[in-house]
Amino acid sequence: MKKLLVLIAVLSALVLSACSEDVAKQELEKNDDNKAEAKVSDDKKSEGSKDEEKSEEIWTYYDNATWSDDYNGLKMEIQKAVVTDKAPTPEDENAKASAVGVKFKMENTTDGKFTFYPDQAKLVTSTGEQIDMPDMWVSDSIGGEIDKGVIKEGNIIWYLERGHAEQIEWIKLEFSGHQGPEDDFESELKEYEIELKLE
């Protein structure tokens, strides 16, 4: 009988210590989670501010380098141009490449379809460069068929081969398209050649 009472006492002590140990672990984990969450949000805040600073330092914005056209109800506009000699590349985020970009928007205000590819525009610069295609990895895909009521907008970026983006005084973009669906090869082709002064 004594052995049974001792055994019960020992088991009770173990159960109680295990319970208190579980509660302590849960509290510790809870506190660690709170600290981790606080640290993560602090890290995100500092990361965000670094990213903001980095992007502000990298790009030169030309808000006056704009263009717009209404082609039979397809409204197109270039909202701004940007240049840099410090752009990261898809291969190396610490690279300092030269790049030119534009923010482009298209809106189909008709019940029909259009097909345009500004995201495949050729770029010519005042510094003597001609880039036949934007960088598809970093540019937004906004070209193709544009159905009724659709708005497409995004950034189109070209990496320069000879550099000196900050010295560019003007850029020229060339692209084309047509009214109608993508597979309508008989539609009249509309070609654009747009020159923007960077000042």
53-98: pLDDT as tens digits: 444 479 999 999 999 999 999 999 999 999 999 999 988 988 899 9
Res. 199 pLDDT band, cuts 50 70 90: confident
Residue 116: pLDDT over 60: yes
Indicate whether 104 pLDDT > 50: yes
* Lowest-pLDDT range of 21-35, 92-106, 115-129: 21-35
Give the model's confidence band at 21: pLDDT under 50 very low, under 70 low, under 90 confident, else very high: very low
User: What is the pLDDT averaged over residues 121-140?
Assistant: 97
The yes-or-no verdict on residue 20 having pLDDT over 50 is: no
pLDDT at residue 24 is higher than 90: no
Tokens 């005084």 locate to 169
DSSP lists the bridge partners of residue 174 as 122, 193
- What count of residues does the chain have? 199
The pLDDT of residue 57 is: 73
Q: Which pair of structure tokens corresponds to residue 178?
A: 């047509």
CA distances from 126 to 121, 152, 166, 176 (A): 16, 28, 11, 22
Query: Which ranges in the chain belong to alpha helices (H)?
Result: 2-58
Q: What is the pLDDT of residue 23?
A: 38
Q: What residues contact residue 133 under an 8 Å CB cut-off, 6+ apart?
A: 120, 122, 158
Q: Is the pLDDT of residue 110 over 60?
A: yes
Instruction: Give residue 185's pLDDT.
Output: 85
**pLDDT score of 151:** 98
Q: Is 177:190 a contact under the CB 8 Å cutoff?
A: yes
Model confidence at 150: pLDDT above 70: yes
Contact assessment for residue 122 and residue 173, using Cβ atoms and an 8 Å cutoff? yes
Pick 133 or 42 by higher pLDDT.
133
User: What is the C-alpha separation between 77 and 100, in angstroms, rounded?
Assistant: 17
| Residue 150 burial (CB count, 10 A) | 14
Closest CA to 99 of 135, 64, 128: 135
Residue 36 has pLDDT above 70, yes or no: no
More confident: 36 or 183: 183
